[in-house]
Structure 1
Amino acid sequence: MATMQEVATHAGVSIATVSFVVNNTKKVSPATRERVQASMAALGFRNNAIARALASKRTRIIALLVPSVEHRMRVTALEFFTAAAARASDLGYHLVLWPVETTGDDLTDLISSGLVDGVILMEVKMEDPRIDKLAELKVPFTSIGRTRHPDALPYVDIDFEATVRDSLDYLEGLGHRRFGLVIEDLEGTPMAGYAPHLRAEATFRALCEERGLVGTVVSCGPSAPGGRQAARDLLVADPDVTAALIMKDDSTFGLLSGLAAAGRRVPDDISVLSLATSSEAGAQHDPPLSTMNAPGRVLGKLAAEALIRQLDGPATELPHVLLPCVLHVAGSTGPAPTSA
């Protein structure tokens, strides 16, 4: 296999310039970079990541930590991952997906192994021992999500408070006054205390009370059967409900079928709006769902940038980024029925 010196001679540049191109450590003109890369290809040069790590004491690998207790890679989470991986690659890093326990007990082994330079934490709980452990280990990190008191932590997150407010604004504008919120039932699981659900529910209850609306919250079990049961529970709790917000992609089909089984037409009798999802996911239903689209790609990119800024130099300030979901109107929402 060719060496850096052979590449430098072939390209007519210094070995330092080849190193800058290989390690992405210094700006090189596009023409020079192209010449070096052409020589690397012609000579069959392969970058030795292990050798670079030993020399620099850095692996240029970052880990995206996700709970290992259950499969939680929804559409939005996959967008976080793919966008963060792409941006990390642009900045000369590799991103790996790393399952961890929600207790944080297995983080010491990961960090002490020296395999990663820093981590991005997903699926954050209001009181999250993983964040306490990362701070204790003094490892550079950024979270996609917020704890109850996040001011001293680096994070990017969906603005769930603004998302719920914007959802109610939209549906109130269509004349709705009786609302249901369907959220995942995580009580008794390792993900109990999941921050997005608690923030969405607290905001929903507060706004309904503040605006004089009827607001009912029902929990939802797994998949389509959980959605069908949630539909039954919602209609028992408030038979006159005219709008439902749901925050659980895999149970949305069940919710719609449960409403249909009860004789409720969507959107004529009840409007359904899916939160923190995507219009692509909404388009899989009949009628197509109106959605509050999560900014997953943007947040994934920002999380990678925020972490790599810490790794490449002293961070001037902690990143605190909140982005709301964006409304996409489709066939599942409409004016409140006149009888309401």
Structure 2
Amino acid sequence: MVKINDVAQHAGVSPSTVSYALSGKRPISEDTRRRIEESIQILGYRPHAGARALAGNRSNVLALVVPLRSGIHVPIVMQFAVSVVTAAREYDNDVLLLTQEEGVDGIRRVADTALVDALIVMDIQLHDERLPLLRTLQRPAVLVGYPADPQGLTCIDLDFQAAAESCVDHLAGLGHRTVALIGSPPEVYARETGFAHRVSEGFTAAADRHGLTATSHPCAPTPAAARDLAAALVHQHPAPTAVVIHNEPLIQPMIDAFQALGHRVPQDLSVIAICPSETAEQATIPVTSVTVPAEEVGTRAVQLLMRKLDGTPVPSTTLLPPQLTVRASTAPRAA
């Protein structure tokens, strides 16, 4: 590991002079600063986070705002959080995780201190009450989510509308004419959470485009709710021959419930999901899915934030295109 003494020797200065160049505590000549910067680059020296903070008047801490509301699937939230922490460490930054549902007051409380340099905000609703404050905040912010009006904000997310459309396109291509969306818990829709509504919009738009019979069903994330919904769908007329699941905890329970009712997957019923790849792969019948790229979204959110902190222009909206992987749970509609 390259140390400050190595940089000093390479640049032909004392270690204290390198320290002054990093911290800005004392003035040094431009020629000396240039030599030190060149030595740092050549040797690959990474200044300690504290030195970087002193030099840039930064805390080197990012706030990750993740209100753990009802209906939130905690495991996938933690995937996002881990990716943010991992990416932040690449920039010698730490992450302050805020999980309380404090809304505007919580963001203002953190932003009004020198505790953090910038914020990543998750669980964005279409008409989120936090948006006006985030638009005027003096500290940079990146939203993981896409509100109804993204103007004046920096947003990144999976293109959930396109994800739902690709699911329906796949099923229509297999000849299915009656499909159902098994959606997020009812309270997620009631809050107008952006990703849930965009999945619903994409599902409906694609079904209309293909001339399919389509129904949508919010569902609590419990095995009992899965059994009740499966029974209702089986007795629906016409009964769906394929379902799109956008509710990670329900993927295996829904498969179990349909099979208990005598519906084989995929021979009698095709199943496709919007979920992390590992969730789809670990089901008893590997599920065709559009992956939720938690790691990529979290990493790119940090990258956008660091560019904003450096004063580099960034796109206002980044929507990642859906990636559909075909597995064993979908098949042509039975004749």
What is the CA distance between 1:251 and its match in structure 2?
1.4
TM-score (norm 1): 0.83
The answer to whether the aligner puts 1:107 opposite 2:107 as a matched pair is yes
User: Match for residue 232 of structure 2?
Assistant: 233
Tell me: CA distance 1:210–1:190, structure 2 relative to 1, closer, same or farther (3 Å).
closer
AA in 2 matched with 1:150? P
Output the CA distance in 1 between the equivalents of 2:248 and 2:241: 20
Q: Which residue of 1 aligns with 2:284?
A: 286
Q: Which residue does the alignment assign to 2:245?
A: 246
Percent of matched pairs sharing the same residue:
28
Shift of 1:20: 6.8
The answer as to whether partners of 1:216 and 1:237 remain within 8 angstroms in 2 is no
| 1:107-154 Cα deviation digits (max 9, x unpaired) | 221112221110011111111112222224332101111101113311
The 8 Å contact of residues 183 and 197 in structure 1, kept in 2 or not, is answered as yes
What amino acid is the match of 1:233? A
Deviation at 1:98?
1.7
List alignment gaps of at least 5 residues for structure 2.
Answer: 25-35
2:57 is aligned with 1:57: yes
Is 2:228 the partner of 1:217? no
Structure-to-structure mapping, 1:13-162, within 5 angstroms: 13-15=13-15, 16-17=17-18, 28-29=39-40, 32-33=43-44, 47=48, 49=50, 53=53, 56-70=56-70, 72=72, 74-101=74-101, 103-162=103-162
1:322 aligns with 2:333: no
CA-CA distance at 1:289 after TM superposition: 1.3
Amino acid at match of 2:255: L
CA distance in 2, matches of 1:167, 1:138: 40
Instruction: State the match for 1:41 in structure 2.
Output: none
2: CA distance between counterparts of 1:28 and 1:184? 54
The Cα of 1:12 is off from its aligned counterpart by 6.3
Query: Higher mean Cα deviation, 59-68 or 190-199?
Result: 190-199
Offset at residue 9 of structure 1 (A):
7.0
Amino acid paired to 2:152: A
CA RMSD of aligned residues (A): 3.2
Amino acid at match of 1:291: S
Q: Is this contact kept in 1: 2:155–2:316, CA < 8 A?
A: yes
Deviations 1:150-199 (A, max 9, x none): 13311111111211121111111111111000111233x79721111111
Measure, in 1, the Cα distance between the counterparts of 2:106 and 2:291. 33
The question of whether the paired residues in 1 share the 8 Å contact of 2:124 and 2:145 is answered with: yes
- Alignment check: 8 A CA contact 1:60 1:117 kept: yes
CA distance in 2, matches of 1:26, 1:226: 61
The one-letter amino acid of 1:324's match is P
Tell me, in whole angstroms, the C-alpha distance in 1 between the residues paired with 2:136 and 2:190: 22
Q: CA deviation at 1:290?
A: 1.4
Is 1:334 the equivalent of 2:294?
Answer: no
Does the 8 A contact of 2:23 with 2:54 survive in 1? Answer: no
**CA distance, structure 2, for counterparts of residue 87 and residue 249 of structure 1:** 25
- Relative to the length of structure 2, the TM-score reads 0.84
* TM-aligned CA distance change 1:242 to 1:56, over 3 Å: same
Query: Which residue type is aligned with residue 155 of structure 1?
Result: C
8 Å contact from structure 1 (residues 201, 217) kept in 2: yes
> 1:96 and 1:6 mapped to 2: Cα distance?
33
- Give the equivalent residue in structure 2 for 1:311: 309
Q: Which amino acid aligns with 2:183?
A: I
- Residue aligned with 1:67, SS: coil
* Other-structure match for 1:196: 195
For the Cα contact (< 8 Å) 1:123–1:145, is it kept in 2? yes
Give the Cα–Cα distance (whole angstroms) in 1 for the partners of residues 138 and 231 of structure 2. 48
The 3-state SS of whatever aligns with 2:179 is: strand
The amino acid that maps onto 1:199 is R
Deviation of 1:29 after TM superposition, in Å, equals 4.7
Matched AA of 2:317: H
Counterpart code for 1:32 = L
In the other structure, the counterpart of 1:176 is: 176
**Secondary structure in 1 matching 2:266:** coil
Partner-residue secondary structure (3-state), 1:105: helix
Q: What per-residue deviation string (whole Å, max 9, x for no partner) do you get for residues 280-306 of structure 1?
A: 111221111111112222222211111
Distance 2:41 2:269 in 1: 57
**Structure 2 vs 1, CA of residues 65 and 71 (structure 1 numbering), >3 Å: closer, same or farther?**
farther
After the TM superposition, which of the residue ranges 149-158 and 54-63 deviates more from structure 2? Answer: 54-63
- 1:63 and 1:98 in contact (8 A); partners too: yes
**Conserved? CA contact 1:4–1:19, under 8 Å:** no
Report Cα offsets for 1:51-98 as digits up to 9, x if no partner: 865675310111111013348354543333233322222223222322
The code of the aligned residue for 1:235 comes to V
> 1:332, 1:149 → 2: CA distance?
37
Tell me if the contact between 1:157 and 1:323 (Cα under 8 Å) persists in the aligned partners.
yes
Match of 1:228, SS?
Answer: helix
Partner Cα distance (2:178, 2:22) in 1: 60
Instruction: Please list every run of 5 or more consecutive structure 1 residues that lacks an aligned counterpart in the other structure.
Output: 38-46
Amino acid at match of 1:243: A
